[in-house]
A = this chain, B = another copy of it.
Amino acid sequence: MRSKKLSIKSGMPPGSLVLVGAESAEEVQVNRIEFNEKVLKESQGLAPEMFAVEPGVVNWINVSGLHNMGMMEMIRERFNIHPLVIEDILNTLQRPKFEDHGDYALISLKMLQISGEQVSTEQLSLILGKNFVLSFQERSGDVFDPLRERIRNKRGRVRGSGADYLAYCLMDAVVDNYYLVLETVGEDLEGLEDRIIKDPTVDYLRVLYERKRDTSRLRRAVWPLREAIGTMRSSGSALFTPELLKFFLSDVYDHVFQIMDTTETFRDTVTGMVDIYLSSVSNRMNEIMKVLTMIATVFIPLSFIAGIYGMNFNPTVSPWNMPELSWRFGYPFALSLMAAVVLIMLVMFKRKKWL
Q: Which residues of A contact B (CB under 8 A)?
A: 1-4, 6-7, 9-16, 82, 84, 87-88, 93-95, 97, 99, 143, 145-147, 150, 155-158, 168-169, 172-173, 176-177, 179-180, 182-183, 186, 197, 202, 205-206, 209, 212-213, 216, 220, 247-248, 250-251, 254, 257-259, 261-262, 265, 268-269, 272, 274-276, 278-283, 285-286, 288-297, 299-304, 306-315, 317-318, 320-322, 324-332, 334, 352, 354
Residues of B within 8 A of A250 (CB): 84, 99
Residues of B within 8 A of A269 (CB): 213
Are B176 and A9 in touch, CB under 8 angstroms?
A: yes
Residues of B within 8 A of A16 (CB): 156
Give the shortest distance, in Å, between A310 (CB) and chain B (any CB): 4
Residue of B nearest to A300 (CB): B299
Are A95 and B258 in touch, CB under 8 angstroms?
A: yes
Are A95 and B257 in touch, CB under 8 angstroms?
A: yes
| Contact of A322 with B331 at beta-carbon distance under 8 Å, contacts A14-B248, A299-B300 already known | yes
Give the shortest distance, in Å, between A10 (CB) and chain B (any CB): 4
A262 to B259, CA, bound (A): 22
Q: Chain B CB within 10 Å — which of A251, A257, A331 has the most?
A: A331
Residue of B nearest to A197 (CB): B206
Q: Which of B1, B176, B262, B312 contacts A1 (CB 8 A)?
A: B262
Are A94 and B295 in touch, CB under 8 angstroms?
A: no
In the complex, given contacts A88-B251, A299-B303, what are 14 additional A-B residue pairs having Cβ atoms less than 8 angstroms apart? A10-B176, A10-B177, A10-B179, A14-B156, A95-B258, A202-B283, A279-B281, A281-B283, A288-B354, A292-B296, A304-B306, A310-B312, A313-B330, A320-B328
The 10 closest A-B pairs by CB, nearest first: A13-B156, A11-B146, A306-B307, A309-B311, A310-B310, A6-B179, A7-B180, A7-B179, A318-B328, A10-B176
Residue of B nearest to A13 (CB): B156
| Contact of A265 with B1 at beta-carbon distance under 8 Å, contacts A247-B82, A292-B294 already known | yes
- Taken together, the copies of this chain in the complex come to 5
Residues of B within 8 A of A280 (CB): 202
Residues of B within 8 A of A279 (CB): 205, 278, 281
Q: Chain B CB within 10 Å — which of A168, A286, A334 has the most?
A: A286
Are B212 and A272 in touch, CB under 8 angstroms?
A: yes
Q: Chain B CB within 10 Å — which of A9, A95, A303, A320 has the most?
A: A303
Residues of B within 8 A of A313 (CB): 309, 324-325, 330-331, 334
Q: Which of B93, B275, B285 contacts A258 (CB 8 A)?
A: B93
Are B276 and A275 in touch, CB under 8 angstroms?
A: no
A326 to B3, CA, bound (A): 77
Give the shortest distance, in Å, between A146 (CB) and chain B (any CB): 3
| Contact of A3 with B186 at beta-carbon distance under 8 Å, contacts A300-B303, A313-B331, A320-B328 already known | yes
Give the shortest distance, in Å, between A340 (CB) and chain B (any CB): 15
Residues of B within 8 A of A310 (CB): 306-307, 310-312
Residues of B within 8 A of A177 (CB): 10
Residues of B within 8 A of A182 (CB): 3, 6
Q: Chain B CB within 10 Å — which of A4, A6, A197, A250 has the most?
A: A6
Residues of B within 8 A of A155 (CB): 13
Give the shortest distance, in Å, between A322 (CB) and chain B (any CB): 5
Give the shortest distance, in Å, between A103 (CB) and chain B (any CB): 14
